[in-house]
Amino acid sequence: MTPTHRIFPYNDIWLDCVNNNLMSILISHHSSFEKLPLTFKTQYWKKLINQTFPEDNFESLLHQGLMLPKVQYDTEQLYHYLRFEDQLLEQSDIPFLDEMIQGALDKKKYVFLDVDRFFYSSGREAGKIHFIHPTFIHGKCASGEAYTVIEDCLSPGRMHDYQTPLEVIVESTQYQITSGRKVRFIMVSVHEGSIRNFNHDFSVQDSFISELRSNLLEDKVVFLEQYGLHYQLGLKALTDYVEEFEELVGNLNETSIFALRSSSFAQNHKKNNRLFKLLEDQSAHTNLYKQLAEQSMDLSRLWEIYRTTVIKMIASNSVRDQAIVKLEEIVKKEYHMVKTMKIAAEVSNS
């Protein structure tokens, strides 16, 4: 058998390839978990251009769009409602992979398994690039010949239903272990007690706006040891983006990562719009939250227009002035919304 709750891809907000699937698990158990990301702490991050890059890979990051700013969410709350069992696979486990996966599903557990998407039948990396990725397995096809998974291999930043045959999993695992790589097999189950205790009616405190504003204004540089890189945090990441537009956008070889990161800002503002409307319903300060809700939707629209403008600009090799003007307008309105947040925070504390 497989876990009894039907799993659907979660695409409201792009968190990352693992956390979007964890959201799918929780929502399948109770629809009110759709509101959980509304209170994820948010920050804007961008790699600093003027730093030493490990393995001299600056040009590769630049051409892919991985130097562009991104929305970073603190998803720690997710892990309060789930339980994880982690193990590393060995050569001797390969003949029993089908049994291991099916055994987990029979116990109403889900599986994240490191799979090399090179061996997939379709997708961006299939047959082209060796790309190790935690594949989310939530069931088995009726034929019994393939597993039902949710993947982002077809388009960056979007989860899709997908089918992965057992032979792909076996071939990938064999390749990784032979190459000396560690292969993770992670079983995930819901923590029923925590889910029952979740605030299903979902109320948000006015004080959350102060936290949201502080994160956006946090002007500091942090060093992430796992990547060996420095990152600029806060709205300063966007002002740097304007100044570095020619280098960051003018050197893109393809636009998929650019589209994903621009869309993530639009999604974040749609998320904020829902948050502000919720506060508008719950708070006495209706006008301020209504104003914030309108500003967030305006910014979401502008980020989408900017994304489309740049993609057309790159495709036609046209003048960049229009895109820069739109980005400057976005940054100005980002700062303006933070000012409105300050007023809302001051009023709620008075």
pLDDT at position 104: 96
For 59, the token pair is 């040009």
In degrees, to the nearest 5, what angle opens at C-alpha 186 toward C-alphas 172 and 24? 100
pLDDT confidence of residue 18: 95
DSSP 6-63: PP----SS---TTHHHHHHHHHHH-GGGGGGGGGSEEEEEEE-SSSPPGGG-HHHHHH
**DSSP letters of 309-325?**
HHHHHHHHT--SHHHHH
Q: How far apart are CA 274 and CA 296, in angstroms?
A: 9
pLDDT of residue 344: 85
Helix (H) or strand (E) holding 301: helix 286-316
Q: Which amino acid is at 55?
A: E
pLDDT at 5: 67
pLDDT of 146 reads 92
pLDDT in single tens digits along all 350 residues of the chain = 455 568 999 999 999 999 999 999 999 998 889 989 998 989 999 999 999 987 768 888 999 899 999 999 999 999 999 999 999 999 999 999 999 999 999 999 999 999 999 999 998 889 998 989 999 999 998 888 899 999 999 888 899 999 999 999 999 999 999 999 999 999 999 998 888 888 777 777 777 888 889 989 988 999 998 888 999 999 999 999 999 999 999 888 888 899 999 999 999 999 999 999 988 888 777 888 999 999 999 999 999 999 999 999 888 877 688 899 999 999 999 999 999 999 988 887 76
Whether 27 contacts 34, CB under 8 Å: yes
Other C-beta atoms lying within 10 Å of the C-beta of residue 54: 9
Give the residue from 75, 80, 82 showing the smallest Cα distance to 29: 82
Distance CA 250, CA 256 (A): 14
Q: Residue 223 has which token pair?
A: 């060093």
Torsion, Cα of 83, 87, 93, 94 (10° steps): 80
Helix residue spans in 179-285 (DSSP H): 192-197, 208-217, 236-243, 245-250, 256-282
What is the pLDDT, as a whole number, of residue 1?
A: 47
Beta pairing, strands 132-140 & 110-116: antiparallel
β-bridge partners, 42: 73
- Answer for the pair 300, 63: CB distance below 8 angstroms, yes or no: no
Amino acid at 111: V
**The predicted structure's pLDDT at residue 178:** 94
Q: Which amino acid is at 154?
A: L
- Residue 84 is predicted with a pLDDT of 97
What SS3 state is found at 158? strand
Place of tokens 């819901």: 190
- pLDDT at position 3: 57
